[in-house]
Structures are given as C-alpha cells and as structure tokens.
C-alpha cells in the first residue's frame, strides 16, 4: 500500500478517535447547479453551459453545473425583506460540534432576529439546509441530542471502515476504479432529504441557501444553490480520504472546509448586508508542553492551528462572530453527552452575543421582533 494511502487511513483513524480535524461536508451527486465565489461566478457565466451531465459512480444522475447564481440569490433575499438590510448567516464546519449551530439558531429565533440568507460549510450546510427547509428547531436539536443525526452521518465507525479498506480495494484489481474514499455518504443524503420533507430541493427552501464545497480539480471554493438538498449536503461534507468526492456534471466536489470553513464571503456574495458568522471549531487555548508527548498530539494541534488561522481570517468580514466553546467534542462523536454539551454551548454563546448583536442591528436600522 502506498504511503499516501497509509496517511489517509491514519487520518481516518484519528478522526474516529476524536481528532479535531474539521468536518468537511458530505453529499451525493444530484445537485443541479453550483457557482464559485472569489469573483469566479462572473467567469462561469461568461463561459456558458458545461458539457452534458454524466452519472456519478453511486448511480445517481448528476446534473450539469450552470452559471453563477449569486445575483439570483440576492434578488430572492431582497424580495423577502422589502427594503430593510438583509441578514445573512454563515455556519462553519465542525462535525458533531454542529449541535452548537442548533443552539445558536434557537436563541436567534427566540430573540426575533430574522435570517434572510444562509450559507453553510460541511455540518454547517446540514444544519443550515434543514433550518432553511422549515424543520422545527427543537426537532433538529433532538436529532443531535439522541445521536440519531450523527449515527446517520457516520453509519459505520471509521475504525471499522479502515479495517475493511483492504477488502474494498479488491475491485480495483478487476478494472473498477471509483473515486478515492472509504464510502459515498448516500445513506446520509437520503436521510437528510427525508428530514427536509417536501422542501428537499434547494429551490423550494423557505430561505435562500448555499452549501459550500471545494472544487477538487482547481481548488476553488464554490457554492451549490440549486438542485437536490441532500446531494448538496453530501458534497459539502465529503471529507477527503474518508468520503468519496461527489461528481456533478463535469465537476468534482469535496468538503468545503478545505478552503472556506466559515463562509462569510459566500454569504456576502449572496446579497447579505449584515453577516452573523458561527465558528464551532475548538478554541485554540494554551496547554502544557507535556501534552505534546502523547501519540498523535502534534497532528491534532497542527489541525487546530490551521483551522483557527482560517476561521479567524474568514470571520474578519463578518459583522459579528459567535464562537461556542466546543472544546473536547470530537468531530465524529456519536456521544449523546457531547451533543447536549454542544447544543448548550451554542445557546450560551448566542445569548452572550445578543446585546452586541442587537446594538449593531439597530445601527443598521433593523428592528428585531423582540
């Protein structure tokens, strides 16, 4: 087995043991359209249509990506508000720590703060997409707290998948060459669509929404804003080396957190005037030097540093950043206690931020319902 493969397996094992590796999104290939940010949307529109769509290796039909839709999202957001500044929500990646997003949303809803645009990365796309579908916030909290959502997210522990990986490689010797990764994430895609009910396509969502993904070939940060909701979530959470990337037309996408873990820039591109960012990664805190004598401690700390640097930089363009304390909650934890702690951390952080948030909203001429 190649060294690169061993490294991927080592990363997967680290994930299963509670590593702090960012939760990159997960989804299968049925999304209809995607658009890239960082000024790439205009280029996409000028290039015209893409080649005919192909079927992805999961058997699901893959629709061809079309030109950028930032302006369409902006128009939809404007129509929903009739003149007041648009409020956007940027939900970051973080796996099981996504329960904190639900806690934040619970408080925003209780305080009567309207949300007009949502972009989510990885687990942020899952929480954001389900919220935009109209799913009851208490029901969503329950899905985390009883561990149902994370069990569907990771149906078989990573450690087991790694152990059977050599068997899964066997078909390659007979000419079958699927995309790299331990599994597809199709079951979670179907589960997410079931939760969304009749609002399981992005065009039907009650709030304009984008799932942030990374284009595997050119490394661009892109957003999926049309098509099958579960597929968009699957692509956004496709952690490299763990879940297979998702093909949509002639493009291949993986977890959006590789480039844009807290998608403030996407929310701006979608027409938001005021952006609330939610960063659910573990805080970077001073620790004793002896902590780094433990096996695997350096790789985990390196990931914490990388994520912290990326999250802080991307949060600079937000009007306010809410950062729940998710320390100790593993990326792929299916522990009910972790889910409850994450949810409560989200509530606590959001309540602490409310005074400043309302002050800034008032300065923008936005009056909350409460």
DSSP 214: E
HSE (side-chain half, CA atoms, 13 Å) at 242: 32
Q: Are strands 251-255 and 87-91 parallel, antiparallel or unpaired?
A: unpaired
Catalytic residues: 122, 255
Q: Which of 280, 278, 351 is nearest to 319 (CA)?
A: 278
| Structural tokens at position 79 | 């129509």
Rg (CA), the chain: 19
Q: Across-strand partners of 224?
A: 34, 211
Whole-angstrom distance, CA of residue 149 vs CA of residue 140: 9
- Cβ neighbours of residue 283 closer than 8 Å, sequence gap 6 or more: 308, 323, 325, 326, 327
Cα 354 to Cα 151: distance, rounded to the nearest angstrom: 32
Residue 162 parent element (H or E):
helix 158-163
DSSP-assigned states of every residue in 10-32: HHHHHHHTT-------B--S-EE
For residues 24 and 310, give the distance between their C-alpha atoms in angstroms, rounded to a whole number.
14
Q: How deeply is 128 buried, as exposed, middle or buried, from its count of CB atoms within 10 A (0-12, 13-18, 19+)?
A: buried
SS3 61: strand
Q: How far apart are CA 222 and CA 55, in angstroms?
A: 20
Residue 2: partners with Cβ closer than 8 Å, 6 or more residues away:
none
**Cβ neighbours of 365 (radius 10 Å):** 10
In a 13 Å sphere around the CA of 164, the CA atoms on its Cβ side amount to: 9
Q: What are phi and psi of 61, to 5 degrees?
A: -65, 135
Tokens, residue 277: 């960012």
């Amino acid at each position: 087995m190649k060294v690169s493969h061993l490294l991927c397996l080592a990363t997967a094992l680290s994930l299963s043991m509670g590593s702090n590796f960012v939760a990159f999104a997960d989804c299968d290939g049925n999304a209809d359209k995607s658009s890239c940010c960082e000024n790439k949307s205009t280029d996409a529109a000028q290039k015209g249509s893409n080649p005919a769509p192909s079927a992805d290796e999961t058997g699901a039909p893959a629709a061809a990506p079309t030109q950028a839709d930032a302006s369409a999202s902006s128009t939809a957001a404007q129509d929903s508000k009739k003149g007041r500044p648009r409020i956007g929500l940027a939900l970051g990646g973080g796996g099981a720590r996504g329960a904190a997003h639900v806690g934040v949303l619970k408080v925003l809803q209780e305080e009567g703060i309207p949300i007009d645009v949502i972009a989510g990365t990885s687990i942020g796309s899952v929480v954001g997409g389900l919220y935009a579908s109209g799913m009851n916030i208490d029901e969503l909290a329950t899905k985390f707290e009883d561990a149902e959502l994370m069990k569907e997210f990771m149906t078989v522990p990573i450690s087991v998948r790694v152990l059977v990986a050599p068997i899964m490689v066997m078909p390659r010797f007979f000419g079958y060459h699927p995309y790299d990764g331990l599994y597809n994430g199709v079951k979670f895609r179907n589960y997410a669509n079931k939760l969304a009910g009749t609002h399981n396509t992005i065009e039907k969502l009650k709030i304009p929404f984008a799932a942030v993904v990374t284009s595997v070939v050119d490394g661009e940060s892109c957003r999926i804003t049309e098509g099958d909701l579960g597929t968009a979530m699957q692509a956004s959470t496709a952690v490299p080396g763990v879940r297979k990337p998702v093909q949509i037309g002639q493009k291949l996408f993986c977890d959006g957190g590789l480039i844009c873990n807290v998608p403030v820039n996407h929310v701006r591109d979608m027409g938001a005037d005021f952006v609330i960012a939610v960063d659910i990664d573990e805080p970077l805190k001073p620790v004793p030097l002896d902590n780094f004598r433990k096996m695997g401690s350096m790789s985990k700390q390196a990931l914490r540093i990388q994520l912290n640097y990326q999250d802080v930089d991307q949060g600079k363009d937000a009007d306010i950043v809410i950062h729940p304390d998710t320390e100790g909650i593993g990326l792929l934890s299916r522990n009910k206690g972790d889910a409850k702690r994450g949810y409560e951390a989200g509530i606590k952080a959001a309540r602490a931020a409310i005074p400043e948030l309302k002050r800034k909203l008032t300065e923008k001429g936005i009056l909350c319902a409460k």
